[in-house]
Amino acid sequence: MALPITWAAFIVLLTAVFLKAIVTRGRRRTYNLPPGPKPWPIIGNLNLIGELPHRSMHELSKRYGPLMQLRLGSLPAVVGSSVDMARFFLKTSDAAFADRPRFAIGKYGAFDASDIMWCQYGPYLREARRICAAELFSAKRLQTFELIRGEEVRGMLRGLLEASGCAVRLRDYVQNMTLGVISRMVLGRKYIGQEEEGGSPPVLTPAEFREMVEEFLALHGASNIGDFIPWLDWLDLQGYVRRMKRMNRKFHQFLDRVLDEHDRRRRLEGEGFVARDLVDVLLQQADDPNLEVQLTRDNVKAIVQDALLGGSDTAAATIEWAMSELIRNPKVLGKAAEELDCVVGRERLVTEGDLPALPYIEAILKETFRLHPVAPTLVPHLAREDASVDGFDIPAGTAVFVNVWWIGRDPALWDAPEEFRPERFVGSKIDVKGQDFELLPFGSGRRMCPGVGHGMKVTLLSIANLLHGFEWRLPDGIKVEELSMEEIFLLAMPRKDPLEAVVEPRLQSHLYMCA
Annotation: binding site for heme: 449
Query: Which residues have C-beta within 8 Å of that of residue 143, sequence separation ≥ 6?
Result: none
Are the C-beta atoms of 296 and 112 separated by less than 8 Å? no
Q: By 3-state DSSP, what share of the chain in percent is helix, strand and coil, each rounded to 5?
A: 55, 10, 35
Say how far apart CA 513 and CA 161 lie, in whole Å.
Answer: 10
For 404, phi then psi, to 5°, come to: -70, -20
d(Cα 71, Cα 91) in Å, to the nearest integer?
Answer: 25
- CA dist., res. 455 & res. 434, Å (int): 14
Instruction: Give kind and range of the element (H or E) at residue 254.
Output: helix 240-269
Neighbours of 268 (CB within 10 A): 9
Q: Collect all residues with Cβ–Cβ distance below 8 Å to 194 and sequence separation of at least 6.
A: 202
Contact 75, 231 (CB under 8 A): no
Separation CA 146–CA 185 (nearest Å): 10
Contacts of 136 (CB under 8 A, 6+ apart): 185, 186, 278, 307, 450, 451, 454
Binding-site residues: 449
Instruction: DSSP letter for 235, please.
Output: G
67 residue type, one letter: L
Nearest-CA neighbor of 402 among 368, 357, 447, 341? Answer: 447
Burial of 346 (0-12, 13-18, 19+ CB in 10 A): exposed
| Residue 500 bridge partners (DSSP) | 169
Q: How many residues does the chain have?
A: 515
